[in-house]
Amino acid sequence: MRRLGFLLIVLALVAGCDDADPPAGPSNTGPIVFTAALSAQNEVPAITNAEQGGRGNVTITFNVPRDSTGAITGGGGVTFAMQLTGFPAGTAAIAAHIHPGAAGVNGSVLVATTISAAGPVVMGDGTANVTVTATPEITQANAQQIMANPAGFYFNVHTPLNPTGAIRGQLTRTQ
């Protein structure tokens, strides 16, 4: 009888520690991350002036609320981490935005950064590593549109020499 009681205790402990049960899946509520490789040749039309060597990368992070299925449930903050290079010394980035538009198609500004003519990023040696935020924050509707079709949106950086855009890249979702 004692053995049966001991065996039942051991079985209860083993059943409570069953490693065969898979852990809960990854959370769908974390940030949404996009990247884009930026190039002067991606602009429409392609840049052929002194800034034609401009290039860079951007990582865009949406910090928006999401439900357990990953659906966006509200608007929120956006962070842009940019690495810019290949510009003439002293070039100023005077704007940077997300626009709707497939490759080869221009679109209006959808999500703006805090970079402006009044608050430019000056690339003293032709390079810059900068992190900025969106102003205003992204809306739920815009975040949903971008998440549903990242390749239908692009990010570009504007300069005084190329006020309609100096470098551009289509978004790709990475997380």
The SS3 assignment for 143 reads helix
pLDDT at 167 over 80: yes
Report pLDDT digits (tens) over 101-114: 999 999 999 999 99
- Contact by Cβ (8 Å): 59, 98: no
Residue 62's pLDDT band (cuts 50, 70, 90): very high
Q: Structural domain boundaries of the chain?
A: 28-173
Look at the domain 28-173 and name its fold: Immunoglobulin-like (2.60.40)
pLDDT at 19 over 80: no
The strand pairing partners of 111, in sequence order, are 98
- Contact by Cβ (8 Å): 38, 52: no
Residue 6's pLDDT band (cuts 50, 70, 90): very low
Report pLDDT digits (tens) over 79-94: 999 999 999 999 999 9
- The predicted model scores a pTM of 0.83
Per-residue pLDDT averaged across 53-74, rounded? 95
pLDDT at 29: 63
- Contact by Cβ (8 Å): 73, 111: no
Q: 84: how many CB neighbours lie within 10 A of its CB?
A: 24
Whole-angstrom distance, CA of residue 12 vs CA of residue 31: 40
